[in-house]
Every structure is written in structure tokens, then in C-alpha cells.
Structure 1
Amino acid sequence: MSLTKTAWAIFNQSIIQYHLLDNVDAQEENPFEEGSLERILYSKNWIDTVQWHLEDLIRDENISPDEALFLKRRIDASNQKRTDLVEYIDHYFFEKYRHIPIKTDARLNTETPAWAFDRLSILALKIYHMKIEASREDAEVKHREKCRVKLSILKEQYKDLSLAIEQLLTDISEGSVIMKTYKQMKMYNDESLNPILYQKKKQHG
């Protein structure tokens, strides 16, 4: 089985497990071996799935300001965990391919393999939820029809993205694409880089 198909199965396993509980506070029960790529992929999607539903909650028009602020900070923390896992996945690929001889005409790609798998994880969530909307009995027929069209497009995106990821990994394994890792350098959570945070710290220092 190709790595994209393996990842797709893992992502959907995580999504189904989450929706058995359907609670943003549910604890992840990762079935894969500690330190394995499969375990990391499962955790990655679990974070994405929880965050998907946090984003739903924060858009409630009747949410209180205090609850919205709590959720916003929780989403920020989730984004940081998500980024950390993506970088960890890229480190896995970097180690796997670090000894591959690089061709003289090797090119750089616009995104790393891990960020492509990040897109695949989100796509799994989109397809899962669009399937629900496309068959929701309490929705209007027009709504269901629109969602079926969108679902068809999402499925095509899945095929295209899976193929593109496989092509990228093949090119890296053959030395045609340079495998590099990048830190995202997120600034909004860093007290030394976010002016709101470091000015506030200075005022109270």
C-alpha cells in the first residue's frame, strides 16, 4: 500500500473514532506503536479534527466573550501543536532521504511532504463532513445537491493530491527534489516576538 493510502486510512480511522465520542475534550486513544510514523499521522489528524470542531464552536453567534476568548486561546495552542507535528513528520522524511545523492539539476518544491500530508488530513475532514451534508435528511434538496457537487470536487482533489504527494516522494527518493526542513517561526505565541505580549511584559516587569 502506498504511503498516501496508508495515511488516508489512518486519518479516517482517527475521524471515525473522534465522532464516536464527538467531544472536543475527548482523550486521544492512539492505537499505533510509540515512535512510529503511523502514530504521528494519527495524532496529527486527531488534532485537526478537534480543532475543526473548536472552530465550529467559536462561530456560535450566542457565544459569550469569555468563552470565545477561551476557545481562541485553545485554537492557538492547537495550531502550535499541529505545526510541531508537521515539523516532526518532515524530520522523519529528512532522515529517511538524507543520504540520497542530489542531482545537479535537482529542484526545490513549494511545500514539504509533511505540509502536503497536512492538506490531506484536512481534506479527509472535508470529505467526511461533506458526505454528511450531502445526505442530511433535515436539509433542503437543493442543499444536498450542492453538497454532492462539492463532494465530487473534493474526491477529485483527493486523487490529485495523493498522486502529487507520491510523485514528490518519488522525486525526493531519486534525488530530483531537494528535501529540506523548515521551522515555521510562528510569532504570535512568542513573548519575545509578539509586540502585544512583550510590551505588556515590560509594563509589568
Structure 2
Amino acid sequence: MNSLPSSADVLAMHDAALLCAPAPVDARDLRGYIAANHFHNRCLWTQEDLARRTQAPDAEIVANKRAIDRHNQARNDAVERIDELLLSALGLVDPATIASALPRSTVPPGARLNSETAGSMLDRLSILSLKIASMREQTQRDDLDDWRRQACGERLARLIQQRADLGRCYDELLADARAGRAYFKVYRQFKMYNDPRLNPALAAESP
């Protein structure tokens, strides 16, 4: 349990990844899945920007939308795996049920259930890191007037504070989980729109 990444570890990983081009990562361990989640969030950010073009051919926008769907599914899959690995390391889930649809929690009596999982917190930290990097770029533009540069600077400060607050909440959740005061669960997303058996529009296209 001592090797579980702190928020400072995660933020350093996120910021370091922003300095290089997005690339597939080794997702065989906890830090690998954290990196994978961040990679797919970065790809989502790029595709979301491209999908909002107004002068691009329709086929390109369709390709952007399909890429968004793929990366969003992979991002959610990574969050679920992060939660599995954290809960396993903390001893808060029955190992025999970890990969099932409903992993069984093994928590001490009196522990409070945290409504947000640690994995979802790390996902939000990833997105905040992207927002901070993008807003910082805005403050460095030469074509902005002073008012807009100041407004972007104020937003940047708020985003940095929000990330610090969330990082502290993540650290406190892990500390409380180690001490038996709190726990979280693996919450499956069950994305129905990607399943041709459950999405009626996809089912209608099947022979």
C-alpha cells in the first residue's frame, strides 16, 4: 500500500506527459492505467476541438466523433481498472470478484462509503491538468489584449486551486481507506451506446 501514488505523483505524471506527443502507454500496472487514462483524455481534448470545426468536410467531423467515442470508452475502462487496482492494494475488495460486474466490498464496520471513487478523482485531475495547460497557453499569447490576458490569468489561478483541492481530497480518501475510516467501490459504467446488443440504433442496423 505504501507504493500507491499520491496526488503529487499523479500531477507530476500528468504534467510530464503534456510535454511530449501523445503515445500509447504500458497499461499493465496501476501507474500504467493512470497514464492510459491521461492519454485518452488528451486524445479526447484534441478530437473535441477538431469536431467543432465549422468549415471541415462532414466526413472529417464524423471521424472525429467516432474517435471521441473510442477514446471515451477507453478512458472509462481505465478508470474502472484504476479503482480495481487501488481497492485490491487497499484490501477493500474480495479478490475473487474484482473483475466481476459487481465486485464485493470487504470493508471494516463503520467505514463510510465515499460517493466518488479514487479512479474518478484521478480522471478529473487529468482533465484539470489539460485545462491548466491550455489556459496557461492562452495567457502567453501575443495577440490578446490586457483585459483578456488578465481574465485568462484569473481562470488559470482558479483551475490550479481546484486541482490542488481535488488532489488533497484524493490523498485524504486513500488515507482514510488505509485507516479503515472510508471506502469506495468499483462502479461499472455499462456504456450501452457502444454495445450493439443494447443500443437500439445499432441493433436496427444488424441483419
Q: Fold-level match, TM-score > 0.5?
A: yes
What are the residue-to-residue correspondences of 1:26-65 with 2, within 5 Å? 28=23, 30=25, 35-65=28-58
Q: Does the CA contact (< 8 Å) of 2:79 and 2:119 recur in 1?
A: yes
Contact residue 24 and residue 39 of structure 2 kept, 8 A: no
The aligned counterpart of 1:22 is none
Question: What pairs up with 1:1-150 in 2 under 5 angstroms?
Answer: 3-18=6-21, 28=23, 30=25, 35-98=28-91, 102-150=107-155
Report the 3-state secondary structure (helix = DSSP H, G, I; strand = E; otherwise coil) of the residue aligned with 2:78: helix
Deviations 1:108-156 (A, max 9, x none): 1111100000000001111111111012111222211110010110111
Shift of 1:29: 5.7
* Aligned partner letter, 1:97: L
Report the TM-score, using the length of structure 2 for normalisation.
0.86
Distance in 1, Cα, partners of 2:17 & 2:36: 8
Does the 8 Å contact 1:15/1:46 carry over to 2? no
When the two structures are aligned, how many residues end up with a matched partner?
192
Asked whether the equivalents of residues 102 and 176 of structure 1 are also in contact (C-alpha less than 8 Å), the reply is: no
Matched residue type, 1:65: D
Q: Counterparts of 2:68 and 2:130 in 1: how far apart (Å)?
A: 17
| Equivalent pair of 2:192/2:198 in contact (CA under 8 Å) | yes
State percent identity of aligned pairs: 32
Deviations 1:30-54 (A, max 9, x none): 4x7x633222222221111121011
| Cα separation, 1, equivalents of 2:169 and 2:145 | 36
- Letter paired with 1:73: R
Any stretches of 5+ residues in structure 1 without a counterpart?
19-25
Q: Are residue 193 (structure 1) and residue 193 (structure 2) matched?
A: no
CA contact (8 A) 2:136 2:156 kept: yes
Question: Is the 2:125–2:166 Cα contact (8 Å) retained in structure 1?
Answer: yes
CA distance in 2, matches of 1:99, 1:6: 22
| Uncovered stretches (5+) of structure 2, i.e. residues with no partner | 94-105
| In 2, Cα distance between equivalents of 1:167 and 1:99 | 16
CA RMSD, Structure 1 to Structure 2 (Å) = 1.9
Answer whether contact 1:40 1:89 (CA < 8 A) is retained: yes
Q: How much has 1:99 moved relative to structure 2?
A: 5.4
